[in-house]
Structure 1
Amino acid sequence: MLGRTASGLFWMARLLERAENTSRLVEAGFRMALTRTQPGEEEWRSVLVTAGCCDAYLARHDTITGDKVADFALRDRSNPSSVMSSLHAARENARMTRTALTREMWEAINDFWMAVRDALKRAPSETDLPEILTMIRQQGAQVRGATTGTMLRNDIYNFILLGIMFERADNTARILDTKYYVLLPSSASVGSSLDNVQWEMILRSASAERSFHWLNGGNITPRAIADFLIFDTRMPRSLAYCYDTITHQLDCLFRQYCQRLGTHDLAESLEASLTATTIERVFENGLHEFLSDFLRRNASLSAQIETDFRFAE
């Protein structure tokens, strides 16, 4: 496969995942803001920080309000991480690699783009926002269904899955990290009813709320939720699950190309560090420190893939 084709598939998948993840963050901010009697500026700030676009937002707006953040995160094309920007770039990558995709997958991506474009022709109102966010998730699910249901399990599929899992792992880690440093008004709130509501919203933003309750009942604690989203390989958005999938897809590429690269060693090292770590050790050494290190290593591995598989060529 040509490097530029692999790059197009990898980034198409990352950007599709990013669009859906951004919509989940907006929904989490919207729901958390509803728990406050005062305007939920910190909840909306957490959305911007997690999405990595807080500085860009503040360069354009003087205040942080729900309607402005939702508009910036969903439809503002000047924001490269907005849903509209991500979907436009994903569709262009899909167009570039059109011959590598099944008809069903291309149509699902195209339908995703057109549905969101039509829904976001104007800034969404507070009453329309839940319906729009639900539609974005449903369209994303249709793309995933077309991918898993129609794509041949070859190197094309491997690079698509790699893109999805790198983006998903990055998003889950950012959600957890932001929770500790942005969402809580003060350390006195830890363990309070407000804290528990916010942690439930974190689960919701990762599509993990019901799964967590199936396994843990009412044990809603920061430690239990962090353990679930980091180490539980049954949870498809956990860091451990993502890296199980990443190493498997890289193994598939190794068997097809008969070439072991630095990427394989880095991926196995990161997965091994997750396997060898416990939630007790993470909290003892600091959740923020653990997640910051994970985000750095995840980004380094993504860059190594681009180098090893010659994405620039």
Structure 2
Amino acid sequence: MLGKTANGLFWMYRALERAENIARLIETGQRIALTRLGSSEDEWRSVLQTSGSLDAYETFYDEVNRDHAVDWLLRSKDNPGSVMSCISQARQNARMVRTGLTTEVWEATNAAYMVAKDSLARKVPDRDMPKVLRMLRQRAGMVRGATHGTMLRNDVYDFARIGTFLERADNTARIIDVKYYVLLPTVASVGSSIDNVQWEILLRSVSGRGGFRMAYGAQLEPRGIATFLTLDRRMPRSLAFCTSKILGNMNYLESDYGVRLQSTQMAEDLQQRFMRMSIDDVFDYGLHEYIQKVLGDIAAIGHQIEIDYRFYE
């Protein structure tokens, strides 16, 4: 496969995953705002920080408030990480690799762009926000469904999956890191109480509330939630699940091309060192330090993939 084609596929699916994740973050911010009696500025700052766009936001706005934050994350052309920007980038990359996609995948991607363009042409009214966010998430899911249902399991599919799960792992790690104080075991051990709404919101942000209750029961507590989001291989947005899929598809590429590249070894090292720890080991290591190390490794793997597969040649 040409490096340019691999590049297009990788970033097409990263952009789609990012668009869906940002929509989830906005929805989370909306839910938090509904539970707060006072100002929700700190929580919107937290949402912007999780998305990785706080610094850029602050170059355009002097203060953090709900209206500016939502518009920045949802539809701002000045924000390359906004939902609209990401979906536009995904469609542009899909056009570049059109011959590698099935008709169903292309049509789903193009439809996602057209729906987003129409829905986000102007500021979204509060009453329409839940419907618009749900529709954006569903459109991203349709592209993913078309991919799983129609794409040949070859290197095209592998690059799509690697892009998806690198972005998903990065998002989950960022959510945990921004909210890590909620997950610290000392919170429970000293007898402090945290509003259950915060736990619900944390799990909702990764679509994990129902799965957590099935796996761990109705009791929301730090150890179980930390395990669920980091090391539980059944949870499709956990760090362990995402890194296992990244490594699996990189191993398929290794088998197809007959060569082991540095990026594959880096993914295996990440899996071996950090995804086979117990949750007690994670807390002993330091949850924040653990997440920071995982985030750094994810970024390094993504960069090495670009080098190994000659994305820009």
The correspondence of residues 41-190 of structure 1 with structure 2, limited to 5 A, is 41-180=41-180
The aligned amino acid for 2:260 is R
- AA aligned to 1:29 is G
> 3-state SS of the aligned residue for 2:5?
helix
Provide the rounded CA distance (Å) in 2 between the counterparts of 1:67 and 1:181.
26
| Whole-Å separation in 1 of the counterparts to 2:194 and 2:274 | 31
* Distance (Å, rounded) in 1 between the aligned partners of 2:53 and 2:41: 15
Once residues 57 and 223 of structure 1 are traced to their aligned partners in structure 2, the CA distance between those partners, rounded to angstroms, is 34
- Give the CA deviation at 1:199: 2.1
- Cα distance in 1 for partners of 2:95, 2:183 equals 39
What TM-score do you get using the length of structure 2 for normalisation? 0.95
Residue 192 (structure 1) aligns with? 193
In 1, distance between residues paired with 2:8 and 2:160?
Answer: 9
Give the match's secondary structure for 1:141: helix
C-alpha distance 182-233 of structure 1, shift in aligned 2 (>3 A): closer
In structure 2, relative to structure 1, the CA distance for the partners of 1:86 and 1:48 (3 Å cut) is same
Aligned to 2:36: 36
User: Counterparts of 1:146 and 1:30 in 2: how far apart (Å)?
Assistant: 30
Contact 2:239 2:275 in 1 (8 A): no
- Runs of 4+ more than 2 Å apart: 180-184, 187-194
Which whole-Å CA distance do the structure 2 matches of 1:271 and 1:3 have between them?
A: 26
Structure 2 CA distance for aligned equivalents of residues 117 and 236 of structure 1: 29
Q: How far off is 1:193 after superposition? A: 4.0
Q: In the aligned structure 2, how far is the partner of 1:190 from the partner of 1:59?
A: 41
Cα distance change of structure 1 residues 75 and 260 upon mapping to structure 2, 3 Å threshold: same
Relative to structure 1, is the Cα distance of residues 182 and 191 closer, same or farther in structure 2, using a 3 angstrom cutoff? closer
C-alpha deviation, 1:121, in angstroms: 1.0
Amino acid at match of 1:175: I
- Which residue of structure 2 lines up, in the alignment, with residue 213 of structure 1? 213
Contact 2:183 2:223 in 1 (8 A): no
Tell me if structure 2 keeps the 8 A contact 1:108–1:143: yes
User: CA offsets per residue over residues 108-136 of structure 1, 9 Å max, x none?
Assistant: 00000110111111111221111111001
Deviations 1:211-237 (A, max 9, x none): 001111222112211110110111111
Residue pair 1:17, 1:164 contacting (<8 A) in 2 also: yes
126-135 or 271-280, which deviates more:
271-280
Q: Deviations over 1:86-119 (max 9, x none)?
A: 1111111000000000000000000001101111
TM-superposed CA distance for 1:275, in Å, is 3.4
Task: Assess if the C-alpha contact under 8 Å between 2:231 and 2:276 holds in 1.
Answer: no
Q: Note the aligned Cα RMSD (angstroms).
A: 1.8
- Structure 1 residue aligned with 2:26: 26
Whole-Å separation in 1 of the counterparts to 2:202 and 2:191 = 15
In the alignment, the residues of structure 2 paired with residue 283 and residue 190 of structure 1 have an alpha-carbon distance, to the nearest angstrom, of 18
Q: Distance in 2 between matches of 1:34 and 1:281?
A: 36
Cα 1:214–1:62 change in 2 (3 A) is: same
CA distance in 2, matches of 1:14, 1:53: 16
Separation in 2 of the partners of 1:75 and 1:222?
35
Could you tell me which amino acid in structure 1 is paired with residue 212 of structure 2?
F
Secondary structure of the 1:144 match is: helix
The answer as to whether partners of 1:42 and 1:182 remain within 8 angstroms in 2 is: no
Amino acid at match of 2:57: Y
TM-superposed deviation, 1:180: 2.5
User: Would the aligned equivalents of 1:43 and 1:183 in 2 still touch at CA under 8 Å?
Assistant: no
Aligned 8 A contact 1:67 1:126 in 2: no
Cα deviation digits, residues 282-313 of structure 1 (max 9, x gap): 11221110000000011001111110111111
After TM superposition, give the deviation of residue 197 of structure 1 in Å: 1.4
**Farther off after superposition, 281-290 or 29-38:** 281-290
Q: Would the aligned equivalents of 2:182 and 2:222 in 1 still touch at CA under 8 Å?
A: no
State how far apart, in whole Å, the 2-side matches of 1:91 and 1:300 are: 26
Letter in 1 for 2:86: S
Number of the residue aligned with 1:236: 236
The aligned residue for residue 268 of structure 1 is 268
How far has the Cα of 1:192 moved from its partner?
2.4
